[in-house]
Chain A
Amino acid sequence: MQTNELVVCQGLSKSFGSLKALDNLNLTLERGRFIGLLGPNGSGKSTTIKLLNGLLQPTAGSLTIDGAQPGVHTHEIVSYLPDRPYLNDWMRVCDLLSFFSDFYKNFDQVKANDMLKALQINPMDRLKTMSKGTKEKVQLILVMSRKAQLYLLDEPIAGVDPAARDYILNTILSNYSEDATVLLSTHLIADIERVLDEVLFLKNGVLTLHESVDTIREQHGKSVDMLFREVFAC
């Protein structure tokens, strides 16, 4: 039986030597939500995401996704977009599609081809011939074409032009199923806040705010972008 809680973190901490990258995170994320993970550089966003997909081991505390600790089951239901390119750049897009089909049984090749077409990316092109933005689009398409329960997107739209950004956001919105959750870290808050259900603010590894976008606008009379600029003013 599925519960409505997809991600549960209790006292989750990660230290690198004396640096506390993430400090005592208590967090529950529900299914069917689109969540922004926001914070200045070095606030622990990528650390959080890497803990969630099992790339890092917590120093303390616990974490479950769909009731299980990061492992075989969670790798099947979590689709992760890293914050840097990780694919071999000699590969063609069509090679990558079969690569992903081999790796993940929930990969939907038809969906991937549709998105490639809409963004006018030729499946015969090699990654290394592409611009930074186009590479990012390809990676995002691969990640969003999996039928996952949790999408972890680390800075997915930073190098993409504004027009394609709109298309990508709409693609994410229309592609995640109703019981899946998207957790997305970004600095481009103004561009994405209209599509978010809720936001998380991280400050020096500490969760300082977990609230819905409309509640923030109601309580503060300003956008999440403006609030962020205020809270994290240098």
Chain B
Amino acid sequence: MQWQLRGDRPIYQQLMEQLTEQIVSGQLLPGDKVPPVRELAAEAGVNPNTMQRALADLEREGLLYTNRTSGRYVTEDKSMIDAVREQIAADRIADFMNSMRQLGFTKEGIVKLLEKSSMGEGNEDANK
């Protein structure tokens, strides 16, 4: 797992986002055990207290849960994971649309460009 930390925002938030992404992308599956705090913190090169805070907040959001005797797990509620995935997708699309509008594209223009570039992707796949 590669951790990317930027300077301008709280570290625990960035850890939460990246853990969430691991869950929605299936790198961590529903019901998987989450590695211990110290192990994750060492991997990300951050303070264990910060990692602990990120995990506790994800627990509060429901993506993780703690079994008192055996540690922390990913939720088994797949509909919740799907909902989070869709929310992230909606946020990224909104960001993308904003930056394209700043370049002067209309909604229709953006859709046309998307179709064109996704056809290009299809061709690349075909060439492989």
Contact = CB atoms under 8 A, between A and B. Distances in A.
B56 interface: no
A207 B43 CA distance: 33
A154 B42 CA distance: 23
B10 interface: yes
Contact of A195 (B8, B38, B47, B53): B47
Contact of A217 (B11, B42, B49): B11
B49 A194 contact: no
Given A166-B45, A170-B42, A190 B7 contact: yes
B47 A217 contact: no
B58 interface: no
Contacts, number: 51
A24 B78 CA distance: 56
Interface in A72-94: none
Nearest to A221: B8
B38 A213 contact: no
B10 A218 contact: yes
Contacts of A170: 42, 45
A214 B12 contact: yes
A226 B9 CA distance: 12
A231 interface: no
A173 B47 contact: yes
Interface in A9-40: 32-34
Interface in A31-85: 32-34
B34 interface: no
B40 to A, nearest CB: 12
Interface of B: 5, 7-13, 38, 41-42, 45-50, 53
Interface of A: 32-34, 166, 169-170, 173-174, 190, 194-197, 213-215, 217-218, 221-223, 225-226
